[in-house]
Amino acid sequence: MKVSFNWLKTMVDLTGISPEEAAEKLTSAGVECEGLTHLATGTNLVVGEILQCSPVEGSDHLHLLQVDEGNKYGIVQIVCGAPNARAGLKVIVARPGAVLAEDKKIEKGTIKGIESDGMCCSLLELGVDRKYLSEKQIAGIEELPKEAKPGDEEVLSFLGLDDTVLELSVLPSRPDILSVENVARELSVLFERPFKEETKTLEGTFETAYAPKSETPLCPQFSLIEVRGLENGPSPLWLRRRLEGSGIRSIDKIVDIGNYVMLLTGRPLNMYDADKVKGKSLTAKLATPGPWKGMDEKTYELSGKEIGIYDEENNLACLAGILTSDEARVDEKTKNVLVECAYFDGVAIRRATVTLGLSSDSSTRFVRGIDPTRAERTLGYVATLFKELCEAKEISKPNTYDEIGREKTVIPFTSDYINKRLGTDILEEEIVALLKRDGLEIEKDGSGLKAIVPSYRLDLKEACDLSEEVIRLLGYDAIKSTFPKMELSLGGLTPYQQKRRSIRNFLTSRGLIEALTYSLVGEKEKDDYAYFGAKESYSLLNPLSPERKFLRKSLLPSLLLSASYNLSHQNEDFALFEVSDIDGVNYQGEHLAIVALGEEHLMGRLKRRPYDFYYVKGLFEAILGILGITPSRLAIAPLSKDEAGEDFHPYRSVKVSLGKKTVGVFGEPHPKARDRYGLGKTPAALLELDLKALLEVPTGNKKAAVPPRFPKIRRDLSLLIDEKVSAASLLTAAKKASALIKEAEVFDVYEGKGLPEGKKSVALCFFLYDETKTLREEEAAEAMQKAEAALLRLGAEVRS
Amino acid sequence: MEEKEIREAALKAIGDSKDLKSLEEVRISYLGKKGSVAALMARIKDLDPAERGAYGAKINGLRNEVEGAYNQKKTELEKEALEQKLKEEAIDLSLPGYEFRQGYRHPYHLIIDEVTAIFADLGFEVKEGRDVETEDYNFTYLNVPKDHPAREMQDTFYLEQGGLLLRTQTSAEQAHAMQEKFDKGPIKMICPGKTYRRDDDDPTHSHQFGQIEGLLIGKDISMADLKGTLELFVKRMFGEKRSIRFRSSYFPFTEPSVEVDVSCAKCGGKGCQMCKGTGYIEILGAGEVHPAVLRHGGYDPDVYSGFAFGVGIERVAMLRYGIDDIRRFYQNDVRFLKSF
């Protein structure tokens, strides 16, 4: 909200206080000043009178002017291109050395070979906002009124343009600030200066026949006066400037008076042309649905939830609190006016502004909150303006419909409470004095105090509000830091959080890059890679776009989109991971996902290894290790064709289960998934785990292993076996064959040239020992024979 | 051959040996069982017994000298041979090392980890809450009245599944924390979490962003305690020289409410481009917990009081790391992620 500093100065004594100081103090007290602008800027200006104006040869628009700049500067020659330059005109001259708006500097110059000693200005060049200027004023130089004296250097002051505008940001808790009067009040409290309230009022001379009525609780108060026999027309300069300093364009006297009083008091008014209102009553009630034309000449479709002011013939004269109708509006010819000062329910007004997409300075105030009292005081002041400016012949007494309670808010409190809440030691007398200066009445209440809140402070309701009032006015520097005094308690991460942290640490130490993706996805991704967790996604009622309508059920699609983004930006060879909450209907989980694309660099680019199934398998096994989960507690099995769908390569992916629950999937993507996500033929590996399920698996304490006392014997076997037989089955069979075989591992696998069709060569190593004694050769040989027999049963052929 | 000549020849042969193999041959020829020195010693039987002692000593002396020279040479040659072997094992040291490099943490998580560490050190618990909340926890229990503009459809994401929304602030966790504390005793907690607002994405706005909430409830907790606690946090997070200031503001769930500014790290508070000449940067919102919020949490505001604060994760990361656009957090371009 814009506030004119000059206007504020008429209500509070601000001598010696600059607009910048006022702005700073207001800001720290919670009335933030976001910027200061000037209505106009210009130095070295002087009023001049054009004595002579002759066309310049060779130009169709330039004139040579002889300008009288008064006694000090004499008569000066200026070349001017304005269409309205003529002899006898009083103008604004910017003398050489002048600096105008946007830092434009004026120097002595030569135009078409003729010396020009300055420039005649339009208000636009002085920085006046073009919305306040007429077409004529924009197209040419400013024509000053006859009273302007050549030589007068206080040009901006003469024009009322020497004003600073404070741009205030109004907090939702301070709707009272939407009134210039209250801003002045605030300044008077902050700077401890006297405040002069506007008390001008006019007693009405007759009882008006017009009656305000209300048929809805949404309008509990409605006052009006009738003004007869007025002359409308353009407003005087002082009024126009006050409005411009508040960011509002002057229209005509009637409209301007309404806006002016609204700006001053914060109470919106509405003006009706009395001769266009049918009958003698104005009734507030819920609007009839249907189209309606406002005075902005636009048609609006009313829903029936809006408040309307209807005349006796049921014409909608005004969309209450928002806009007058096209029919009942005032114009240059208006002679008789009805002025409405009413109270409308802010919630209803806000709903209407939202559904109609229409708001106004009035509606904003109703929505934020209005002081419901003093409607008649407001109308009394309006009356004086109509008398003074419009020569109104007769003004009525106010006619009021009023259902609003007059109870003032009373807040019991103690200075002890205030100090405890703030952590300060302010004397009670100081607190009382401060609140009194702020406009509250303070009285003793038993052993405590009570504050009676002025009607315009809608935000002061309980004692905590008073504590804020005290400290914001005193200044927060009054608070000295202390530390809370509390009992000892344990904080920090829970075991679950610690385990999760160790997994993130592990992954980053292994070279993976942590990613952060959006939770909202579109129709395309929402059902991909959904192997565990929610069956149904949450969806938004009011999404910003269809690509962000659903809460994801799984992490892989989001990571795949990020991976794909990277690929298309020439980034290659990377592995991303993310840990995130996943929310779905009846599901609250936390997942870990990994997407690895390209090749792992093992020694710069010299040694590379494509990301594949074994990469994510390795990470998975390491994670189990970190969590202390023995692999045998989980079942790992290949994904069925159905399960793999078009997400995973059915022969290069597995599913991990804990009992009946799927807790993980990992492997390589299905070719169709590669297409969907733009992965091309780049080597890729994916993994997603139900991290919550794994972090919640109970694990026992570590138990120390006793190193065996007796040496072990190593025996190797080389087998020729069917390609489809898994290494794990060979190892299991061999180990089962003899208790002496403690460890068995595959150390070579060869599939290729030189072998029979469908066969592979596998080399296994076995470590045998006996805990109780040194193993003898014969015992080892016997154990190996048993192992060989078991392997033969699987179809293996022992090679050596 | 005479002993003198043998001595000279032996020493020369030893000196001339170029490698261990030829040195060994020299050793055998002079010091071996059938070598020259042995041959000299053998002549002792041709001498008078009286002369044998002196002769024996002389030959032994020769043997020792030659052996000495031999050992020295052997050591030298062994050294050279070793040196040669090592030289042949030379490699190109400029090639890249095996990849043990750390991966990268996302800057969003770096900030959370850092803030969490500071408050964990102060005994704060870490709660997370869920992204999906009910209207009550996100608004009602935070003293946001039913018709408050913040509840508008245009600002909040409501779910088609009734009564639910995506939380707009981590303050929603405050009511959970209070309601879940069965003994209704003191609370010290922070809540880092994802929050959502119906904002079009641009360089400074994102429909999804992160916040960290702090809540401390106890007896006689004041704004002065808030100031002290935040100062501790700010100094640890942004540097020992930092100071804070409070500016009056408004939140429905605190009263008094303040915006908290931190003195600019770049200019120390003098004013520069970073802080737009003010010397301060707005980082946190905070205040004394509103009595209505305490009541909703099951706490008696006459017995308990507390303060709360909130900080935007991306905002802090953007200031600290000079990130130009909030959307970068969610783009995950590895070139960006690798800067952290």
* pLDDT tens-digit series, residues A64-79: 999 999 999 999 999 9
B172 CB within 8 Å of a chain A CB: no
Residue A184 to chain B, least CA–CA distance (Å):
18
Distance CA A133, CA A128 (A): 8
H helix or E strand, kind and range, residue A471? helix A463-474
pLDDT-based confidence at A404, cuts 50/70/90? confident
Stretch A343-361: mean pLDDT: 92
Residue B39 to chain A, least CA–CA distance (Å):
54
Q: C-alpha A307: how far from its chain's center? A: 30
Stretch A478-489: mean pLDDT: 93
B197 vs A contacts (CB less than 8 Å): none
Q: Which range, A97-106, A511-520, A524-533, is most confident?
A: A511-520
Contact B330 A513 (CB under 8 A): no
CA of A545: which chain B residue's CA is closest? B200
Place of tokens 């007896």: B219
pLDDT-based confidence at B289, cuts 50/70/90? very high
Contact A488 B123 (CB under 8 A): yes
Q: State in words which class domain A410-477 has.
A: alpha beta
Distance CA A611, CA A598 (A): 6
Do residues A318 and A307 make contact, with C-beta atoms less than 8 angstroms apart? no
Residue A403 has pLDDT above 90, yes or no: no
Distance CA A446, CA A433 (A): 19
Distance CA A752, CA A741 (A): 30
Q: Counting beta carbons within 10 angstroms of the beta carbon of residue A275, is it exposed (0 to 12), middle (13 to 18) or buried (19 or more)?
A: middle
Residue A305 to chain B, least CA–CA distance (Å):
15
Stretch A139-153: mean pLDDT: 91
- Reduced DSSP (H G I as helix, E B as strand, rest coil) percent helix, strand, coil of chain B, to 5: 45, 20, 35
A424, A489, A542 ranked by CB distance to B123: nearest = A489
Residue B88 to chain A, least CA–CA distance (Å):
22
Q: Counting beta carbons within 10 angstroms of the beta carbon of residue A333, is it exposed (0 to 12), middle (13 to 18) or buried (19 or more)?
A: exposed
Q: Nearest to residue B234, comparing CAs of A578, A481, A33? A: A481
The per-residue pLDDT for range A568-586, each reduced to its tens digit, is 999 999 999 999 999 999 9
Torsion-angle region of residue A258: left (phi > 0), alpha (psi -120 to 50) or beta? alpha
Query: What pLDDT does residue B5 have?
Result: 87
Q: Counting beta carbons within 10 angstroms of the beta carbon of residue B29, is it exposed (0 to 12), middle (13 to 18) or buried (19 or more)?
A: middle
B125 CB within 8 Å of a chain A CB: yes
Give contacts of B 208-237 with A, CB under 8 A: 208, 216, 218, 220-225, 227-229, 231-232
Do residues A75 and A101 make contact, with C-beta atoms less than 8 angstroms apart? no
The per-residue pLDDT for range B106-128, each reduced to its tens digit, is 999 999 999 999 999 999 999 99
Contact B245 A476 (CB under 8 A): yes
CA of B289: which chain A residue's CA is closest? A464
Query: What pLDDT does residue A480 have?
Result: 95
Domain B107-337: which CATH number of 3.20.20.20, 3.30.450.40, 3.30.930.10, 2.40.50.40? 3.30.930.10
Helix (H, G, I), strand (E, B) or coil at A257: helix
CA of A467: which chain B residue's CA is closest? B256
A713-798 placed in CATH 3.30.200.20:
no
Place of tokens 């005087």: A236
Residue A204 has pLDDT above 90, yes or no: no
Query: What pLDDT does residue B47 have?
Result: 86
Homologous superfamily assigned to A495-695: Bira Bifunctional Protein; Domain 2 (3.30.930.10)
Residue A484 has pLDDT above 90, yes or no: yes
Q: State in words which class domain A206-402 has.
A: alpha beta
B123 vs A contacts (CB less than 8 Å): 488-492
How long is chain A?
800
Torsion-angle region of residue B242: left (phi > 0), alpha (psi -120 to 50) or beta? beta
Query: What pLDDT does residue A800 have?
Result: 60
Residue B30 has pLDDT above 70, yes or no: yes
> ipTM higher than 0.90?
no
Q: C-alpha B114: how far from its chain's center? A: 11
Residue A165 has pLDDT above 90, yes or no: yes
Cα dihedral A144/A150/A154/A155 (nearest 10): 20
Residue A752 has pLDDT above 90, yes or no: no
Q: Counting beta carbons within 10 angstroms of the beta carbon of residue A627, is it exposed (0 to 12), middle (13 to 18) or buried (19 or more)?
A: middle
Place of tokens 């305490």: B294
Residue B203 has pLDDT above 80, yes or no: yes
The number of beta carbons lying within 10 Å of the beta carbon of residue A573 is 17
Query: Mutate which of A344, A465, A513, A521 to disrupt the B interface (most B C-beta within 10 Å)?
Result: A513
Residue A347 to chain B, least CA–CA distance (Å):
7
Domain A45-158: which CATH number of 3.40.50.1970, 1.10.600.10, 1.20.58.220, 2.40.50.140? 2.40.50.140
Task: State how far the alpha carbon of A132 is from the alpha carbons of A4, A129, A161, A224, A248, in Å.
Answer: 15, 6, 12, 30, 8
B338 vs A contacts (CB less than 8 Å): 513
Distance CA A570, CA A598 (A): 12
Task: State how far the alpha carbon of A19 is from the alpha carbons of A4, A6, A24, A25, A428, in Å.
Answer: 10, 10, 9, 10, 33
Stretch B6-33: mean pLDDT: 90
Q: C-alpha B66: how far from its chain's center? A: 63
B96, B222, B333 ranked by CB distance to A423: nearest = B222
A607 strand-pairing partners: A603
How long is chain B?
340
The per-residue pLDDT for range A675-686, each reduced to its tens digit, is 999 999 999 999
Residue B275 has pLDDT above 90, yes or no: no
A479 vs B contacts (CB less than 8 Å): 223-224, 227, 246
H helix and E strand count, chain B: 12, 9
Helix (H, G, I), strand (E, B) or coil at B246: strand
The two three-digit tokens of residue B281, written as one number: 């940067």
The two three-digit tokens of residue A174, written as one number: 């301070």
CA angle A282, A283, A285 (to 5 degrees): 150
Query: What pLDDT does residue A617 have?
Result: 94
Helix (H, G, I), strand (E, B) or coil at A138: helix
Residue B96 has pLDDT above 90, yes or no: no
Query: What pLDDT does residue B1 have?
Result: 58
> How would DSSP label each residue in B301-328?
TTT-EEEEEEEEHHHHHHHHHT---TTH
Q: Nearest to residue A314, comparing CAs of A327, A323, A298, A303? A: A327
Indicate the pairing of strand A574-584 with strand A513-514.
Answer: parallel
Peptide bond into B256 cis (omega under 30): yes
Indicate the pairing of strand A394-397 with strand A206-207.
Answer: parallel
Do residues A234 and A282 make contact, with C-beta atoms less than 8 angstroms apart? no
Helix (H, G, I), strand (E, B) or coil at A764: strand
Residue A270 to chain B, least CA–CA distance (Å):
25
Do residues A473 and A432 make contact, with C-beta atoms less than 8 angstroms apart? no
Contact B109 A485 (CB under 8 A): no
Contact A511 B255 (CB under 8 A): no
Query: What pLDDT does residue B130 have?
Result: 95
A666 contacts: CB under 8 Å, gap ≥ 6: A594, A613, A616, A617, A620, A653, A654, A656, A685, A686, A687, A688, A689
Q: Where are the domains of chain B?
A: 3-88, 107-337
The two three-digit tokens of residue A115, written as one number: 């010396």
B208 strand-pairing partners: B196
What's the DSSP call for residue A480?
P
Do residues A267 and A371 make contact, with C-beta atoms less than 8 angstroms apart? yes
Residue A546 has pLDDT above 80, yes or no: yes
H helix and E strand count, chain A: 22, 41
% residues pLDDT > 70 (chain B): 99
Distance CA A511, CA B307 (A): 41
pLDDT-based confidence at B332, cuts 50/70/90? very high
Contact B102 A171 (CB under 8 A): no
Helix (H, G, I), strand (E, B) or coil at B223: helix
The per-residue pLDDT for range B41-91, each reduced to its tens digit, is 888 888 888 888 888 888 899 899 999 999 999 999 999 888 888 888 888
Give contacts of B 292-331 with A, CB under 8 A: 305, 329-331
Residue A490 to chain B, least CA–CA distance (Å):
5
B99 CB within 8 Å of a chain A CB: yes
Residue A624 has pLDDT above 70, yes or no: yes
Cα dihedral B108/B109/B111/B113 (nearest 10): 170
Query: Which residue type occupies A259?
Result: N
Helix (H, G, I), strand (E, B) or coil at A735: helix
Query: Mutate which of B157, B243, B323, B340 to disrupt the A interface (most A C-beta within 10 Å)?
Result: B157
B109 vs A contacts (CB less than 8 Å): 504, 514, 516
CA of A574: which chain B residue's CA is closest? B334
Query: What pLDDT does residue A479 have?
Result: 95
Q: Nearest to residue B313, comparing CAs of B104, B113, B103, B105? A: B113
B108 vs A contacts (CB less than 8 Å): 516
Contact A422 B224 (CB under 8 A): yes
Q: What is the average pLDDT value for chain A, to the nearest integer?
A: 93
Distance CA A769, CA A758 (A): 35
B94 CB within 8 Å of a chain A CB: no
Do residues A280 and A211 make contact, with C-beta atoms less than 8 angstroms apart? yes
The number of beta carbons lying within 10 Å of the beta carbon of residue B79 is 10
Domain with CATH 3.30.930.10 in chain A: 495-695
Q: Nearest to residue A62, comparing CAs of A75, A46, A78, A47? A: A78
Contact B132 A538 (CB under 8 A): yes
A602 vs B contacts (CB less than 8 Å): 98-99
Do residues A507 and A619 make contact, with C-beta atoms less than 8 angstroms apart? yes
Query: Which residue type occupies A529?
Result: Y
B282 CB within 8 Å of a chain A CB: no
Query: What pLDDT does residue B86 have?
Result: 87
Tally the C-alpha atoms within 13 A of residue A759's C-alpha that lie toward its C-beta: 15
A509 vs B contacts (CB less than 8 Å): 102-103
A462, A471, A491 ranked by CB distance to B223: nearest = A471
Instruction: Give the lowest-confidence range in A34-38, A424-428, B50-54, B92-96.
Output: B92-96
B116, B128, B333 ranked by CB distance to A566: nearest = B333
> How many residue pairs bridge chain A and chain B with CB atoms within 8 Å of each other?
241
Contact A571 B331 (CB under 8 A): no
Residue B9 to chain A, least CA–CA distance (Å):
56
Distance CA A279, CA A287 (A): 18
- Reduced DSSP (H G I as helix, E B as strand, rest coil) percent helix, strand, coil of chain A, to 5: 30, 30, 40
Residue B340 to chain A, least CA–CA distance (Å):
10
Residue A708 has pLDDT above 90, yes or no: no
What's the DSSP call for residue A433?
H
A510 vs B contacts (CB less than 8 Å): 103
Do residues A563 and A673 make contact, with C-beta atoms less than 8 angstroms apart? no
Sheet hosting strand A2-4, strand order edge to edge: A2-4, A164-169, A32-38
The per-residue pLDDT for range A215-263, each reduced to its tens digit, is 999 999 999 999 999 999 999 999 999 999 998 999 999 999 999 999 9
What are the two backbone dihedrals, phi and then psi, of residue A712, each rounded to the nearest 5 degrees?
-100, 160
B245 CB within 8 Å of a chain A CB: yes
Contact A481 B231 (CB under 8 A): yes
Do residues A337 and A227 make contact, with C-beta atoms less than 8 angstroms apart? yes
% residues pLDDT > 90 (chain A): 81
